[in-house]
């Protein structure tokens, strides 16, 4: 008996093939997304581990950097410092040991690159890495890199990020410069460096467009050859400590840096005893490392809510579709019950069918999930430019995703069947179970409207639970889609807008301290306007949590009408010759630090304590920044300028002469392109999720529309028999869809805004503040999109109306 009943059920369900496939599809999508994102998140976790590892295969990222970019230390000074540190270490209570203390030169420079467009002056950074270096080595992963490290004085390794853009290959000769010197080097390797996953110049997190910023790794002899300094001359000391001492993550409330603080204390003692001035940074304070850690963490973190969102949408759709599928069986269940079939015999099929339906969807999802994960990892790998070598999906990911999906499928299939089996067969067979009384409230609200419009509205809200669930699902779908769009638009408007509208320079020329003379001469001889600025990431302050926060110091001559105008949101711009130095701070810093305009604070500037008065707040800046009048900052730092803004007359371009007298040149257009490119990249990382969100919006809306129309077959058939034209009924459906679209759109925009605020909060940290502004065009775009999807469903309803077999329907009506 049961076997026949199950065959009957299978055949009966097969009659609703489209709905059946829709359920299997949603189960598949849910499991596929769960495994894709679960595996993606899991493998991202180990992404940098292989690169930073202190073993033969890794590059051994240093634990601490001691540097001073405005001077160099002789080999003796470095050795003396390292000896002093070792001595201090031995007599301290620090339990871990110092693995290595190595001097390096890391210098800004230029690359003279010729291509079809002539010679380009490319802003660059050169590392001098000894052949026997222990920490911060070049990473040459097997199969994902080429060549070897530089050993000879004329050899160089280029970072893999720029190879394609510059069209370079092993054996090529490249001409590079640093300050006043230039030299030719042979390319012997193409690899990666743990400090340059983010290919952005120091002080910015925006990488210029690929090929507009170059990082190269020379040997120590190569660096001596380039700079003309004595071998072993350094401006950076890299320290590697046994294991990885815990350091503070700037984006967390807790302070995790006690272990490294004890070591930093030893470093400060040693610096004092050897009379060296230097900045000391751990991994959390080394911006490129920290930004990428946060980026990775953010990406990993967002996969969880994104997976949850996708799972919720899939669950809602599965619940709605499967319930509808089983509810449509109510009459057959009633007939069988009337014929005397036991409830338990009936239920076996209804328990088994969701398991079979879910099982097929889960199997497909589990089969294709790993492909989705690999696609996402490949995509992220392409964007970041670092190979993700180890890829595995833990069994726990499969088990969690499949078991939760199966539970949802089972409950949403078996529960309505159980409910249907408890219905009085007489009620079902007489159709009385479908009788209901309309809402008086709705009647009052819509009685003034044309009856067709009133009916449209009442029909739309006939199943409030389903409609609410649809709106929730649409809202979540649009949260996926719209929040990323909103966040990107906010970033675009804030950062690109300010660089485009408030800054008028064409090129920023970086110089060695007090080496502005030749650049100013170049500007004069080319009739270019110039403005000197000081810009150094040398400020720090201890916040209320006792955490050292590093910020950029910017010294300008003019805050308004200069080449870099600062938009003041509160207070005034600093004035000169005050007893206490006046400064302005960016909005993000003020919020993080809880400071107010008018307050006086003590900050550390290049290691020196300085009292300042905060007189104004500048508009949102990406980097935490304190603005000084250049004269004031120059007095504190003893430097006239670190770079010079140039406004170039028509026909004048940056040339090699300028390149040779500078340590790097950045064109504003390149910077803009770089920011746009980074924002595009960031958006692309989420684009898969965005489009998944859009797809879900379409599926959810379509699912609801199909159910709405299918459920109203009888009603629509009645109206057709009574002479209602397809056009008038189509208009009714259009009204309904429009109504659902408008409400869905409004809910979608609200969800998207909420999602954007949540995303921005999860990404925002001291280093990187993400502003969220509602850009009306994005909100309209979202609303319009949902309305369009809803309205686009009307033809389906009209098609169904046209193809309705009225004779069959009249038979149904008569039965």
Least Cβ distance, residue 757 to other proteins (angstroms):
38
Nearer to other proteins, 121 or 330 (CB): 330
Least Cβ distance, residue 467 to other proteins (angstroms):
14
First to last CA, the chain: 28
DSSP state of 434: G
- Strands 507-510 and 643-647, sheet pairing: antiparallel
User: In which element (H, E) is residue 425 found?
Assistant: helix 425-429
Cα angle at 765 between 585 and 255, to 5 degrees? 105
Least Cβ distance, residue 391 to other proteins (angstroms):
55
Nearer to other proteins, 499 or 810 (CB): 810
* CA distance to 327, 499, 621, 633, per residue, from 626 (Å): 65, 17, 10, 10
Q: Pseudo-torsion of CA 738, 743, 745, 751, nearest 10°?
A: -160
Least Cβ distance, residue 745 to other proteins (angstroms):
24
Sort residue 577 into left (φ over 0), alpha (ψ -120 to 50) or beta.
Answer: left
- How many other C-beta atoms are found inside a 10 Å radius of the C-beta of residue 689? 22
Nearer to other proteins, 431 or 649 (CB): 431
Least Cβ distance, residue 723 to other proteins (angstroms):
3
Nearer to other proteins, 231 or 724 (CB): 724
Nearer to other proteins, 9 or 743 (CB): 743
Nearer to other proteins, 125 or 709 (CB): 709
Q: Are 239 and 103 in contact (CB under 8 A)?
A: no
Least Cβ distance, residue 431 to other proteins (angstroms):
7
Nearer to other proteins, 53 or 724 (CB): 724
Q: Are 226 and 54 in contact (CB under 8 A)?
A: no
Nearer to other proteins, 343 or 443 (CB): 443
Least Cβ distance, residue 457 to other proteins (angstroms):
9
Least Cβ distance, residue 43 to other proteins (angstroms):
53
What's the longest Cα–Cα distance across the chain? 104
Q: Are 178 and 225 in contact (CB under 8 A)?
A: no
Catalog residues that contact other proteins under the rule CB under 8 A.
431, 435-439, 442-443, 447, 450-452, 454-455, 458-459, 462, 714-715, 718-726, 728, 802, 806-807, 810-811, 813-814
Nearer to other proteins, 57 or 432 (CB): 432
Least Cβ distance, residue 720 to other proteins (angstroms):
6
Nearer to other proteins, 569 or 804 (CB): 804
d(CA 663, CA 642) in angstroms, rounded, equals: 10
| Torsion angles phi and psi, residue 182, rounded to 5 | -135, 155
Nearer to other proteins, 53 or 461 (CB): 461
Which residues lie closer than 8 Å to 339 by C-beta, 6 or more apart? none
Q: Are 279 and 537 in contact (CB under 8 A)?
A: no
d(CA 337, CA 425) in angstroms, rounded, equals: 7
In 638-725, which residue ranges form alpha helices assigned H by DSSP?
Answer: 656-660, 668-711, 713-721
Residue with tokens 């056009």: 727
Nearer to other proteins, 394 or 431 (CB): 431
Least Cβ distance, residue 486 to other proteins (angstroms):
37
Cα angle at 776 between 775 and 777, to 5 degrees? 90
Least Cβ distance, residue 727 to other proteins (angstroms):
9
Nearer to other proteins, 14 or 448 (CB): 448
Least Cβ distance, residue 743 to other proteins (angstroms):
18
**Secondary structure class of 133 (helix, strand, coil):** coil
Nearer to other proteins, 339 or 722 (CB): 722
Which residues lie closer than 8 Å to 371 by C-beta, 6 or more apart? none
Least Cβ distance, residue 445 to other proteins (angstroms):
12
**R_g of the chain computed on alpha carbons:** 33
Nearer to other proteins, 661 or 733 (CB): 733
Least Cβ distance, residue 763 to other proteins (angstroms):
47
Q: Are 677 and 209 in contact (CB under 8 A)?
A: yes
Which residues lie closer than 8 Å to 667 by C-beta, 6 or more apart? 506, 507, 654
Q: Which two tokens stand for residue 335?
A: 């007939």
Complete DSSP assignment for 345-399: HHHHHHHHHHHHHHHHHHHHHHHHHHHHHHHHHHHHHHHHT---------HHHHH
Least Cβ distance, residue 795 to other proteins (angstroms):
16
| Torsion angles phi and psi, residue 184, rounded to 5 | -100, 140
* CA distance to 197, 285, 422, per residue, from 767 (Å): 16, 9, 61
Q: Which two tokens stand for residue 510?
A: 């970086």
Count Cβ atoms within 10 A of the Cβ of residue 410 and give its class: 0-12 exposed, 13-18 middle, 19 or more buried.
Answer: middle
């Amino acid at each position: 008996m049961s076997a026949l009943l199950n065959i009957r059920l299978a055949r009966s369900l097969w009659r609703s093939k489209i709905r059946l496939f829709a359920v299997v599809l949603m189960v598949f999508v849910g499991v596929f997304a769960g495994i894709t994102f679960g595996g993606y998140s899991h493998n991202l976790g180990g992404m940098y581990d292989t690169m930073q590892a202190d073993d033969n295969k890794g590059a051994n990222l240093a634990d601490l950097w001691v540097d001073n970019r405005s001077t160099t230390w002789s080999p003796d000074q470095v050795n003396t410092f390292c000896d002093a540190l070792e001595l201090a270490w031995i007599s301290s209570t620090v339990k871990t040991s110092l693995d290595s203390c190595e001097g390096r030169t890391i210098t800004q420079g230029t690359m003279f690159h010729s291509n079809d467009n002539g010679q380009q002056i490319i802003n660059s950074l050169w590392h001098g890495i000894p052949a026997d270096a222990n920490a911060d080595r070049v990473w040459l992963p097997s199969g994902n890199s080429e060549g070897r490290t530089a050993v000879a004085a004329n050899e160089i390794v280029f970072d893999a990020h720029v190879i394609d853009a510059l069209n370079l290959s092993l054996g090529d000769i490249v001409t590079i410069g640093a300050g006043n010197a230039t030299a030719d080097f042979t390319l012997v390797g193409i690899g990666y460096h743990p400090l340059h996953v983010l290919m952005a110049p120091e002080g910015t997190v925006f990488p210029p467009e690929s090929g507009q910023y170059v990082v190269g790794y020379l040997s120590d002899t190569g660096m001596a050859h380039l700079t003309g300094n004595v071998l072993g001359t350094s401006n950076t000391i890299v320290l590697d400590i046994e294991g990885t001492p815990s350091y503070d993550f700037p984006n967390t409330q807790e302070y995790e840096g006690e272990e490294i603080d004890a070591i930093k204390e030893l470093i400060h003692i040693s610096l004092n005893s050897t009379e060296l001035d230097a900045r000391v940074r751990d991994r959390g304070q080394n911006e490129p490392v920290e930004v990428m850690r946060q980026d990775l963490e953010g990406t990993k973190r967002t996969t969880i809510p994104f997976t949850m969102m996708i799972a919720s949408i899939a669950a809602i759709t599965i619940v709605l579709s499967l319930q509808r599928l089983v509810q449509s069986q109510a009459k057959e269940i009633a007939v069988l019950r009337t014929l005397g079939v036991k409830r338990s015999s009936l239920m076996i099929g209804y328990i088994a069918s969701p398991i079979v339906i879910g099982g097929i969807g889960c199997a497909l999802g589990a089969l294709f999930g790993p492909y989705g994960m690999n696609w996402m990892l490949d995509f992220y790998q392409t964007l970041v430019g670092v190979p993700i070598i180890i890829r595995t999906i833990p069994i726990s990911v499969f088990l969690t995703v499949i078991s939760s999906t199966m539970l949802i499928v089972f409950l949403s299939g078996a529960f309505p069947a159980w409910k249907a089996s408890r219905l009085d067969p007489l009620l079902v067979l007489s159709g009385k179970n479908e009788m209901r009384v309309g809402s008086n409230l709705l009647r009052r609200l819509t009685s003034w409207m044309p009856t067709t419009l009133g009916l449209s509205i009442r029909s739309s809200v006939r199943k409030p639970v389903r409609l609410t669930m649809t709106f929730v699902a649409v809202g979540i779908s649009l949260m996926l889609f719209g929040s990323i769009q909103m966040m990107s638009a906010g970033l675009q408007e804030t950062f690109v807008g300010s660089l485009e509208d408030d800054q008028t320079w064409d090129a920023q020329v970086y110089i060695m301290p007090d080496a502005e003379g030749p650049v100013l001469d170049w500007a004069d001889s080319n009739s270019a306007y110039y403005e000197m600025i000081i810009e150094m990431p040398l400020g720090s302050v201890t916040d209320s949590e006792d955490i050292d926060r590093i910020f950029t110091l910017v010294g300008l001559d003019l805050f308004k009408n200069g080449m870099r105008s600062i938009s003041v949101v509160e207070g005034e711009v600093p004035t000169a010759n005050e007893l206490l130095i006046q400064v302005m701070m960016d909005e993000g810093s003020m919020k993080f630090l809880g400071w107010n305009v008018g307050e006086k604070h003590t900050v550390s500037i290049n290691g020196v304590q300085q009292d300042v008065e905060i007189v104004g707040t500048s508009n949102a800046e990406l980097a935490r920044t304190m603005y000084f009048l250049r004269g004031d900052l120059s007095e504190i730092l003893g430097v006239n300028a670190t770079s010079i803004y140039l406004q170039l007359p028509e026909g004048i371009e940056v040339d090699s002469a300028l390149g040779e007298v500078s340590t790097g040149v950045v064109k504003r257009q390149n910077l803009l392109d770089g920011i746009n490119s980074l924002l595009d990249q960031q958006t692309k990382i989420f684009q898969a999720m965005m489009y998944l969100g859009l797809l879900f919006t379409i599926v959810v809306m379509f699912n609801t529309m199909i159910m709405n129309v299918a459920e109203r077959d009888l009603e629509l058939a009645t109206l057709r028999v009574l002479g209602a034209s397809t056009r008038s009924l189509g208009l009714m459906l259009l009204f309904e869809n429009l109504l659902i679209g408008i409400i869905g759109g409004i809910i979608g925009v609200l969800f998207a805004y909420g999602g954007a605020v949540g995303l921005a909060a999860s990404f925002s940290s001291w280093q990187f503040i993400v502003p969220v502004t509602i850009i009306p065009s994005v909100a309209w775009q979202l609303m319009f999109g949902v309305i369009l999807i809803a309205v686009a469903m009307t033809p389906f309803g009209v098609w169904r109306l046209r193809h309705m077999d009225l004779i069959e329907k009249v038979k149904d009506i008569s039965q």
